[in-house]
Amino acid sequence: MLSKSQARMFFLGGTFLFSAIFIGLTVDTHRQLPERTHTKDLTEDVVKGKRIWEENNCMGCHTILGEGAYYAPDLTKVVEKRGEEWIRLFMKDPEAMFPNERKMPKYNFSDEQISYLIAFFKWVGKIDTNGWPPKPDIVVQTSVKTNQEISNIPAKFNQVCKACHAIGGNGGNVGPALDHVGAKYEKDYLVKWLKDPQSIKPGTNMPKLPLSEEEIQELAAFLSSLK
């Protein structure tokens, strides 16, 4: 059993020891911050994007790096998950991208403001977070070619469609996988679908994307080849 003086020394020694460890870890954290947060990439566009994020209280619904509300999706890795072009389309008209479903208001951001937000999201997504948020450890079994083996994927598919649909297990899971879509639907049907999904299937969650006639034809030809 410790005497009063020994107990005092034990308490003081432990306090000083763990205080020194805490200070050392704090100093080391601050030392690593510039590299882990890519301070060199903190451009004026990133700062403007963060200002827009704060002024519109985006954290009232979304989270970034674990900070914010949990009503809407976490946006720490949103550029990696969705892609810049998809985010740009979504920010212009959120409800159009998720008809009858998404509750995000339309802020009427200008193209310049959207570019600032994307710059901010890109910077956040590159921060070293020690693997957080974790990616699901799921092995997708597929009998078709992977995206790397398909040589004629339209740029628009990788920019927009891939955010919701997958081919060969590569892509999003919001919409159905498109591995064998060409075996189900012919090109003419796919053209009509891409032009106006609601006219084909009222109530569908597929948005009417702002695609040019050339992009629609290219996507329809590609999708009809997947059999």
Domain boundary assignment for the chain: 39-125, 147-224
CA 27 to mean position of chain CA atoms: 32
Same fold for the domain at 39-125 and the one at 147-224?
A: yes
Which pLDDT score is estimated for 99?
A: 79
Beta strands 166-167 and 67-68, pairing class: unpaired
Q: Which fold has domain 147-224?
A: Cytochrome Bc1 Complex; Chain D, domain 2 (1.10.760)
Structure confidence at residue 144 (pLDDT): 54
Write out the chain's pLDDT in tens, 227 residues: 778 888 888 889 999 999 999 999 999 888 888 888 888 889 999 999 999 999 999 999 999 988 898 889 999 999 999 999 999 999 999 988 887 776 788 999 999 999 999 999 999 999 988 777 777 665 555 555 555 467 689 999 999 999 999 998 888 888 899 999 999 999 999 999 999 999 999 988 899 999 999 999 999 999 999 98
194: nearest Cα among 79, 181, 167:
181
The CATH topology of domain 39-125 is Cytochrome Bc1 Complex; Chain D, domain 2 (1.10.760)
Radius of gyration of the chain (CA): 24
The answer to whether 197 and 206 are in contact (CB under 8 A) is: yes
